[in-house]
Amino acid sequence: MILKYISSNGQEFDLKAADIRARSANFHDYQWTPQIKQLQFGDRVYRFDKEALYYTVLLDIRGGIEHRKETLNALHAAFDADVYALEPGRIVHGDYYIHCFINFSSTYANNPFTNNEITIYCPYPFWIREHTYEFLPKEELPDANAFLDYDYDFSYDYESDLTGQAYVINPGAGAANYKTYFFGPAVNPYMVIDGNTIGLNTTIETGEYVVIDSRNHTVIRVANNGRQTNLYNQRVKTNKSIFDKIAPGEHSIVYPGTFGFNFVIYEERSEPKWS
């Protein structure tokens, strides 16, 4: 099973390696906190909240004394890089990861190893598995009779250029966040999932792409030179929000096929799957 830490600046540390080995960790601990209204007999639960998670991990740092020092120096420099940048790293556990900061450390000698106890603070308390679906541009347009039937009007035509239909799956127990990456060249790109149109009133040039992020409610254009532009006001506006989460189960997607896009579903769990 994979168990590793990846810092916000891209450094990776295998926590099951010969020189760094996690001896113990409580990654399968979690808690939902009920919000209640007290009744004469018992409670009425109106929602559950989930607070940030803290995990305690004991690491064995192995090897000769000089190698252990080098390992600890590199590891803790990566921990601090996340804190200084205010950018979380990741703990990867099998197919899942969780965003985190290391905010406590205690190191002591215990020959022949050095023990390093760390606390992992996870501000967003869910383990995530990404499911990525890739949709490439179609070479030929479909029969002109193919269309979508809407009860309301859009600022541009969604009927004449529909060419593709596919399915995506959220395998989780709850609704999932997503990201859509629209790649240029594209004019007024969109896709429709279960009748909800996710799209933009804009032109994306060759080499550019736009990311719609449901969790952060952002719409960002990334230009060829890496410059980012906020396109929030260019999002398609209908009677549904483009930021609505994706319910569990299978969902149909239809799209015009005149541009490429990726659709990423972020399955969330309270704990990583046992494996």
- Mark whether 33 and 144 lie in a shared domain: no
Do 110 and 165 fall into the same domain? no
Instruction: In whole angstroms, give the CA distance from residue 155 to residue 140.
Output: 24
pLDDT score, position 139: 63
Domain that holds residue 115: 3-125
Q: To 5 degrees, how large is the angle CA 76–CA 82–CA 85?
A: 135
Sort 239 into a burial class: Cβ within 10 Å, 0-12 / 13-18 / 19+.
exposed
Q: Of 106, 125, 144, which closes a domain?
A: 125
What CATH number is given to the structural domain containing 89? Answer: 2.40.30.200
Q: What is the pTM of this model?
A: 0.87
Would residue 243 count as lying in a domain? yes
pLDDT tens digits, 140-196: 444 433 333 433 333 333 333 445 788 999 999 999 999 999 999 999 999 999 889
Domain boundary among 108, 125, 142: 125
Residues 174 and 104 in one domain: no
Domain shared by 121 and 136, yes or no: no
Task: Please name the amino acid found at residue 27.
Answer: F
Question: Do 155 and 200 share a structural domain?
Answer: yes
| Domain assignment present for 274 | no
The reply to whether 63 falls in a domain is yes
Task: Give the residue-averaged pLDDT of 207-228.
Answer: 96
Q: Is residue 102 part of a domain?
A: yes
**pLDDT 10s digits, 91-134:** 999 999 999 999 999 999 888 899 999 999 999 999 999 999 99
Q: Minimal CA–CA distance to 11: which of 64, 73, 104, 59?
A: 73
Same domain flag for 62 and 155? no
Q: Give the domain CATH number at 198.
A: 2.60.120
120 and 135, same structural domain?
no
| Residue 98 contacts residue 90 (beta carbons within 8 Å) | yes
Mean pLDDT of 217-244: 95
> Given 125, 142, 167, which residue is the final one in a domain?
125
Number of domains in the chain: 2
Which residue bears the tokens 């009748």?
195
Note whether 29 and 117 are same-domain residues: yes
| Mean pLDDT value across residues 215-219 | 97
Asked if 97 and 152 sit in the same domain, the reply is: no
- Residue 275 in domain: no
Domain check: are 142 and 261 in the same one? yes
